[in-house]
Amino acid sequence: MSAILAIEDLYKRFPIAGSRQVVQAINGVSLSIRPGETLGLVGESGSGKTTVGRCIVGLLEPSSGSIRFRDTDLARRNLHRRQLAGKIQFVFQEPNESLDPRMRIGETISEPLIPLKLDRERRQRKTAAALALVRLAPTLLDSYPSELSSGQQQRVGIARAMVTEPELVVLDEPTSALDPSARAEIIDLLRRIQAERNTAYLLISHDLSTVRFISHRVAVMYLGMIVEQGDTETVFNRPRHPYSSGLLSSVMLPHPHLAIESSVSLRGEIPSPINLPKGCFLASRCPFVIDRCKQEMPPRETVGPNHMVHCFRHADVAATIPASDTFNTFMREAERILGRSAPAGSLANIHLE
Amino acid sequence: MRGTLAAMNDPAVIGQGEASRTAPPLIEVRDLHITFPAGGDEPKEVLKGIDLSVSSGEIVGLVGESGAGKTTLARSILGMPPAPGRISAGEVFFEGRQILELSEPELRRLRGRRLSVVVPNPRAELNPLLTIGHQISSMAKIHLHVGNQEARKMALQMLHDVQIPDPERRMKAYPHELSGGMAQRVVIAMALICSPAFIISDDATSGLDVTVQAQVLALLARLAADNGSAMLFITRDVGITAHFCNRIAVLYSGEIMELAARDDMFLKPAHPYTLMLLAAFSHSPRLREAWSVPETGERQEPREGCRYANRCPLAQPVCRAQAPSFNEIEPGHFARCHFPVRPA
């Protein structure tokens, strides 16, 4: 299937006021998303994930490179709003900060419909449908954000994005501000909407286990570059970039005996994007480093179907780091521990005292 | 070489729970009640009789969702419940003294020196006008009455221990010059410089990246183990506690619903609320559905009986009529439930 969104060699630099230095936030990002697909974009803070998302929705203008949505070149910002007719939407991280506290829920949800110039009746119908899609009661239309729980607020954020029936939604950390149960509800909701409407998602997140379970493909970002990209199972089970492996080994699954093995332990923090080093950006933190890494940037190499990586030593990484199936093991364990006596079937399974 | 997480799970670092189970508790909370005035209405009880103890060398996890009372508990243990809340009943014993009966000056001598708290949002904790070297060393000067030179030396050693690169130079840095991960480590350095016997970490790692979080946790575990300190580790992230804590307490609506050693909690969870929480992390919609009730149901807390009854898929009429007691269902494993889930 052809891509709905194609980004080629995207760069974004921010000048620093009163200085000739620039922040090199994105350094040559290429990615594509197909209809109905979720691409997970992961990496530490400062890796440029959010900047990529903002360039896609037109909140930022790229310094160079192209962003094509179907046949529209989104780098030309003035075309953005009208021609897209709400086909690309954005869901923000903090629901209570991204909703206008003085607007009623109904107004907030219908706001993206204004540029579409629909008549009042159609607008109301679409608003009600969006509210129903996220399973909020119609009585909430006249409420204010402060009257809602944060899980409900994020549902409003999603309804506002979905009201224009977008083909692509950029989800920027949509669940990181939420409690575990509210987070799981929002993830189920997003999955259900995707199944019903074939919406494509760019899921920006540092919650790797969420990304693992709802993304079809994953792109790992480090200092404005995608260092590894591939099918989610492949990247999570057999990472070929030391950074991906180190990132994965930091995941703490709620099971005391399951940890993701890695020979990479990422020390220190992400370097400043102001004076980027020559060569591979990870060289200063990487246990696989060789002299060559400090001299030249590793090229993009294809290492398997749909699987690309920027690393001179990807073969050694693959050879040293054991293939891991930890996430699937975790799922099976969860079934065993939580499913065994789940009340959905019959109460006969439960041993009452 | 092994990953940071593997190092954290190392029995040498963390496995002191076995020994500590027989040791007398360092801190013991008994039947603690905190109430908040509610206008003309009946005052709202935010903590409803907490019993919890932590022994030296032990890390106890306290998990729960927002509003469960985690931070209220942390602050009340230090004798400062968040205003306008007040301690309506209960005792907190620390090294044999009932600290809720101590005078404010006595308490102040304990806090920061013997009892320490690490909070999230490190930038709000640090004074933007003072260098971090100044801020860390003044902790030692105030509480340990050491001189300038000695305090400076201790601060430098502490920055080294929390693995801040180039500590000499960082001593002169101001808080705004630090990244979030580094600021958090500075706050940890301030909390640990007096080698406190008891540390409360209140969601201290939630704002950090997973990689930095793993480093900070490994550091906390090592420093606590070196000092033989006890720690109460408060978090929303159940996953961390599975790898970091010896025992775990699950807080819901101001009550501890389940308390167990780490393996028992994760491999044999007994309270339906714990199972709901774990199901939320399982990424299985089917398991989630099995442990939650449809949202259309009554979510209001019942006035009588179990506080979880209206969200509980196993609730029976008795659950809404009679409050369950905190029963020991297996040695060291407690659940506040009429129908605890048992392993098959």
What residues contact residue B73 under an 8 Å CB cut-off, 6+ apart?
A: B29, B32, B34, B47, B50, B62, B234, B251
Q: Does an H or E element contain A213, and which? A: helix A208-214
**Calpha distance A219→B340 (Å, rounded):** 43
Of residues B284 and B265, more confidently modeled: B265
Pair type for strands A64-69 and A5-15: antiparallel
Closest CA to B188 of B118, B137, B135: B118
What residues contact residue B52 under an 8 Å CB cut-off, 6+ apart?
A: B28, B29, B60, B62, B232, B249, B256, B259
Pair type for strands A72-73 and A64-69: antiparallel
- Cα three-residue angle B63-A339-A197, rounded to 5 degrees: 90
Interface of B with A in 202-221 (CB under 8 A): 209-215
> Best residue in B164, B209, B318, B339 to probe A by mutation, most A CBs within 10 Å?
B209
Q: What confidence tens digit (pLDDT) does each residue in B315-330 have?
A: 999 999 999 999 999 9
Residues B225 and B17 sit within 8 Å (Cβ to Cβ): no
The CA distance from B286 to the nearest CA of chain A, in Å, is 9
pLDDT of B128 above 70: yes
| pLDDT the model gives residue A16 | 85
Residue whose structure tokens are 């580790």: B233
DSSP code at position A221: E
Closest CA to A49 of A269, A205, A266: A205
Q: Does an H or E element contain A63, and which? A: none
The CA distance from A324 to the nearest CA of chain B, in Å, is 14
Residues A41 and A202 sit within 8 Å (Cβ to Cβ): yes
Q: In what order do the strands lie in the sheet with A5-15?
A: A22-33, A5-15, A64-69, A72-73
**Calpha distance B136→B152 (Å, rounded):** 8
b/e map of B41-56 (b: 16 or more CB within 10 Å)?
eeeebbbbbbebbbbb
Chain A residue nearest residue B242, CA to CA: A256
| pLDDT the model gives residue B184 | 86
The mean pLDDT value for B247-254 works out to 96
| pLDDT the model gives residue B296 | 53
**Calpha distance A220→A222 (Å, rounded):** 7
Pair type for strands A88-91 and A301-304: unpaired
DSSP code at position B111: B
pLDDT of B209 above 60: yes
Q: Which of A336-345, B150-159, B274-283 has the lowest mean pLDDT?
A: A336-345
| pLDDT the model gives residue A91 | 93
Q: What are the helix (H) ranges across A91-146? A: 95-98, 105-110, 120-133
**Calpha distance A78→A67 (Å, rounded):** 14
Q: Which of A256-265, B68-77, B232-241 has the lowest mean pLDDT?
A: A256-265
* Residue limits of CATH 3.40.50.300 in chain A: 5-219
A233 close to B (CB below 8 A): no
DSSP code at position A181: H
**Calpha distance A258→A314 (Å, rounded):** 25
A250 with B6: Cβ contact below 8 A? no
Closest CA to B197 of B220, B225, B230, B234: B230
Partners of A269 on chain B (C-beta within 8 Å) are: 179, 181-182, 212
Q: Does an H or E element contain A137, and which? A: none
| pLDDT the model gives residue B240 | 93
| pLDDT the model gives residue A191 | 94
A209 with B292: Cβ contact below 8 A? no
Question: Per mean pLDDT, which of B153-167, B226-240, B257-271 is the most reliable?
Answer: B257-271
- Cα three-residue angle A62-A227-A17, rounded to 5 degrees: 35
**Calpha distance B108→B201 (Å, rounded):** 18
A256 with B243: Cβ contact below 8 A? yes
Cis peptide before B84 (omega within 30 of 0): yes
- Amino acid (one-letter) located at B175: P
Q: What confidence tens digit (pLDDT) does each residue in B171-187 have?
A: 999 999 887 778 888 99
Q: What's the CA dihedral at A50, A218, B204, B130 to 10 degrees?
A: -40
- Amino acid (one-letter) located at A26: I
Whether domain A5-219 has CATH 3.90.1150.10: the reply is no
pLDDT of B163 above 80: no
What φ, ψ does residue B316 adopt, rounded to 5°?
-115, 170
Chain B residue nearest residue A150, CA to CA: B66
The chain-wide mean pLDDT, for chain B, equals 87
Q: What count of Cα atoms within 13 Å lies in the side-chain half-sphere of residue B306?
A: 26
A322 close to B (CB below 8 A): no
Q: What count of Cα atoms within 13 Å lies in the side-chain half-sphere of residue B269?
A: 30
Q: How confident is the model at residue B270 (pLDDT cuts 50, 70, 90)?
A: very high
| pLDDT the model gives residue A190 | 95
pLDDT of B143 above 80: yes
At residue B15, the 3 state secondary structure works out as coil
ipTM: 0.87
| pLDDT the model gives residue B344 | 65
Partners of A212 on chain B (C-beta within 8 Å) are: 283
Q: What is the 3-state secondary structure (H, E, C) of B127-147?
A: CCCCCHHHHHHHHHHHHHCCC
What φ, ψ does residue A218 adopt, rounded to 5°?
-135, 145
At residue A297, the 3 state secondary structure works out as coil
Partners of B277 on chain A (C-beta within 8 Å) are: 180-181
Residue whose structure tokens are 């790229």: A62
Q: How confident is the model at residue B59 (pLDDT cuts 50, 70, 90)?
A: very high
What residues contact residue A137 under an 8 Å CB cut-off, 6+ apart?
A: none
Partners of A341 on chain B (C-beta within 8 Å) are: 341-342, 344
Of residues B124 and B93, more confidently modeled: B93
Q: Which of A59-63, A68-72, B84-88, B207-211 has the lowest mean pLDDT?
A: B207-211
B28 close to A (CB below 8 A): no
What's the pTM value of the predicted model, to 2 decimals?
0.88
How much of chain B, in percent, has pLDDT values that exceed 70? 91
DSSP code at position A298: P
The sign of the CA dihedral A206, A167, A89, B282 is negative
**Calpha distance B88→B157 (Å, rounded):** 42
Please state whether A66 falls in left (phi above 0), alpha (psi between -120 and 50) or beta.
beta
B282 with A338: Cβ contact below 8 A? yes
One pLDDT digit (tens) per residue for chain A, 353 residues: 589 999 999 999 999 888 888 899 999 999 999 999 999 999 988 889 999 999 998 888 899 999 999 888 876 666 556 667 789 999 988 887 889 999 999 999 999 998 888 899 999 999 999 999 999 999 999 999 999 988 899 999 999 999 999 999 999 999 888 888 889 999 999 999 999 999 999 999 988 989 999 999 999 999 999 999 999 999 999 999 999 999 998 889 999 999 887 777 777 667 778 888 889 999 988 989 999 999 999 999 999 999 999 999 999 999 988 788 899 999 999 999 998 554 544 343 444 33
- Amino acid (one-letter) located at A327: F
- Give me the residue from B211, B267, B281 closest to A44, CB to CB: B211
Write down all domains in chain B, each with its CATH number in brackets. 1-114+197-267 (3.40.50.300), 121-193 (no CATH), 269-336 (no CATH)
| pLDDT the model gives residue A161 | 95
- Amino acid (one-letter) located at B285: P
- Give me the residue from A183, A252, A334 closest to B5, CB to CB: A252
Residues A275 and A21 sit within 8 Å (Cβ to Cβ): yes
The sign of the CA dihedral A99, A104, A106, A107 is negative
A248 close to B (CB below 8 A): no
